[in-house]
Amino acid sequence: MRYRVRIERGDFVVDRSFADVERAKMFLEDSKTPQGRLLIAQGRDRASMLVDEVERLAIEFIQEGRAKLSDAIDGYMRAYVSPKLESAIDKERQTAKAARARLEHCKTIRIPYIKPGFAVPSGPLASLRQHAKGYDEKAIGDFYIDDLTEQETTEYINTRLKDGKARSTVKREIYALQSVVNKLRYTDNKAWKRLNGHNPFLLADKTRLKGGEHRRRRVITEEEEAALLTELRRCRNPEMTLIFALAISTGMRRAELLGLQWAQIDLDRGVIHMDADQTKASEDRLVILLPEAKEAFKAIQRVDERVFHYKIEGFKTNFRRVLERAGLSDIHMHDTRRSFISRVLKNITASPVAIADMVGARSVANLERRTIDRIRQNDMVEAGAIATEQELRWTVHHKDGQTTARYANMIPDKASKE
């Protein structure tokens, strides 16, 4: 039942309805004085203000413990991105640039505007429900996380693709947003509990993102390597030659090489100790040094604690010039890593060792992870060689065989250019 108040008094004409009789009477009382009529015209009469206050209190109650996606992104940046950037800068690591890029990435993913996937409410409490859930088109960062469903997250994908973003870019954004929500259990436990383990970005329809990753297959042939080394030796700075030689003989990433310090290198054992803040996966690892890599290190003159003194941008610029002079502009520095993996795979013939039955282990996976893997790593260091595919994955830091398998058919002397 609604209570209607209709007034026509000269220029003052109003027609309002109320859910209860008390507010209707209050409105009628206010309409009898000039001050009351002015407040009614401004929407500040007692009846309207009472409704606003009730809605405000109800909204506060509904939203208690909720978090907007932008708040979750901020928490993720504070807990995981900013500390890594600060550590990289403090230690003058080359990974600082990647951390800065991640920081900018987190700022970008909250901006795209999307339309909600649920129906706009109606009825007497429509404004309350609309305010609480936010039904207007808005930036995805302004949505409360527990309001997001697979409809909104799929709309995010469609909107980004419509804006001309590459599928690979949108895929990375979705994975980043998945991580932001997953980390809520540590950054905002109240908001996490409201989700009941539900991550809306995991449920998004990613059909349109399939095939977005461009798998570069370029490897460097031995002839191209020789031509590049000849051109590199003409550079005034001998570090150019040594960095390239080490990249193709260790499979290390450019940033890892440029951030190396002498304290990490053990030539007697033939290993490099990589710290977690130097690696892409943020995990420690050992890099095995094959004979050619050892010789390259021995040729470097030690000046201070750093092995190389190039900054990433300076090296990129010089390397690009060398490639142009050698007529090999289609080569990327990361192709050295792909070439190293391809060459080593050609020489791997050993099969994985089965030990679980011998020691009566119930979990082969746990035994391999906790015991066998460590033994194999030590054997690899002692042997000074890479004998199995697993050892190759340890050296180049691939987490699974699928990543390494892509290189299996890349034979340098028959490689097709991109």
52 inside domain: yes
Mark which of 175, 209, 243 sits at the end of a domain: 209
Same domain, 195 and 234: no
Q: Which residue intervals of 310-410 are DSSP H helices?
A: 312-326, 335-346, 356-359, 364-367, 373-383, 389-396, 401-405
> Taking residues 199-217, what's their average pLDDT?
80
Tokens read off for 147: 């309001």
> Taking residues 363-373, what's their average pLDDT?
49
> Taking residues 5-11, what's their average pLDDT?
81
| CATH for 265 | 1.10.443.10
- In this prediction, residue 358 carries a pLDDT of 28
pLDDT grade for 123, boundaries at 50, 70 and 90: very low
- In this prediction, residue 342 carries a pLDDT of 72
3-state secondary structure of 88: helix
Same domain, 240 and 335: yes
Q: pLDDT (tens digit, 9 = 90+) per residue, 224-274? A: 999 999 999 999 999 999 999 999 988 888 888 998 999 999 999 888 998
Mark which of 63, 85, 103 sits at the end of a domain: 63
State residue 172 phi and psi, 5-degree precision: -65, -35
33 inside domain: yes
358 inside domain: yes
Letter string b/e over residues 10-29, b meaning 16 or more CB atoms within 10 A of that residue's CB: eeeeeebebeeeebbebbbe
The contacts of residue 316 (CB under 8 Å, 6+ apart) are 333
Higher-confidence residue of 410 and 147: namely: 147
- In this prediction, residue 225 carries a pLDDT of 93
Are 139 and 110 in contact, with CB atoms under 8 Å apart? yes
Averaged confidence pLDDT in the chain? 76
- In this prediction, residue 235 carries a pLDDT of 92
- C-alpha 312/C-alpha 88 separation (Å) is 14
Same domain, 51 and 102: no
250 inside domain: yes
Domain interval for residue 367: 222-414
335 closest CA partner among 211, 251, 239: 251
- In this prediction, residue 107 carries a pLDDT of 82
Q: How many domains does the chain have?
A: 3
Residue keyed to tokens 């003194």: 309
Report the half-sphere exposure of 327 (CA within 13 A, side-chain side): 4
- C-alpha 116/C-alpha 134 separation (Å) is 8
338 closest CA partner among 386, 283, 407: 407
- In this prediction, residue 60 carries a pLDDT of 52
Higher-confidence residue of 107 and 318: namely: 318
Same domain, 189 and 261: no
Rounded alpha-carbon distances, angstroms, from residue 85 to 147, 261, 402: 32, 19, 30
> Taking residues 325-332, what's their average pLDDT?
93
- C-alpha 196/C-alpha 174 separation (Å) is 20
> Which range is most confident: 25-34, 41-50, 329-338?
329-338
> Taking residues 63-78, what's their average pLDDT?
83
- C-alpha 70/C-alpha 371 separation (Å) is 43
Q: Enumerate long-range contacts of 40-49, CB under 8 Å, 24 or more apart.
A: 40/14, 47/16, 47/18, 47/23
Same domain, 38 and 79: no
Q: What is the DSSP letter of 237?
A: S
Q: With 60 as the cut, is the pLDDT of residue 374 above it?
A: no
187 inside domain: yes
> Taking residues 92-97, what's their average pLDDT?
60
Mark which of 63, 78, 96 sits at the end of a domain: 63
- In this prediction, residue 355 carries a pLDDT of 31
Same domain, 95 and 193: yes
Same domain, 177 and 232: no
Q: pLDDT (tens digit, 9 = 90+) per residue, 264-313? A: 999 998 889 988 777 766 677 788 888 888 888 888 888 899 999 988 88
Same domain, 94 and 21: no
215 inside domain: no
Residue keyed to tokens 């209707």: 24
Complete DSSP assignment for 246-295: HHHHH---HHHHHT-BGGGEETTTTEEEE-GGGSTTS--EEEE--HHHHH
Percent with pLDDT over 70 in the chain: 66
Residue keyed to tokens 């004998």: 387
181 inside domain: yes
Strands 12-18 and 265-266: unpaired
Same domain, 265 and 322: yes
Same domain, 243 and 360: yes
- In this prediction, residue 229 carries a pLDDT of 93
Are 224 and 331 in contact, with CB atoms under 8 Å apart? yes
Same domain, 293 and 388: yes
- Extract the runs of DSSP E, i.e. beta strands, from 169-275: 265-266, 271-274
Strands 113-114 and 12-18: unpaired
> Taking residues 45-59, what's their average pLDDT?
58
Same domain, 119 and 162: yes
> Angle at Cα 202 formed by Cα 201 and Cα 206, nearest 5°?
85
216 inside domain: no
> Taking residues 349-372, what's their average pLDDT?
41
- Extract the runs of DSSP E, i.e. beta strands, from 72-151: 113-114, 138-139
Tell if the pTM clears 0.85, that is, is over it. Answer: no
Letter string b/e over residues 130-140, b meaning 16 or more CB atoms within 10 A of that residue's CB: eebbebeeeeb
Region for residue 164 given its phi and psi (left: phi exceeds 0; alpha: psi -120 to 50; beta: otherwise):
left
* Number of other residues whose CB lies within 10 A of the CB of residue 70: 18
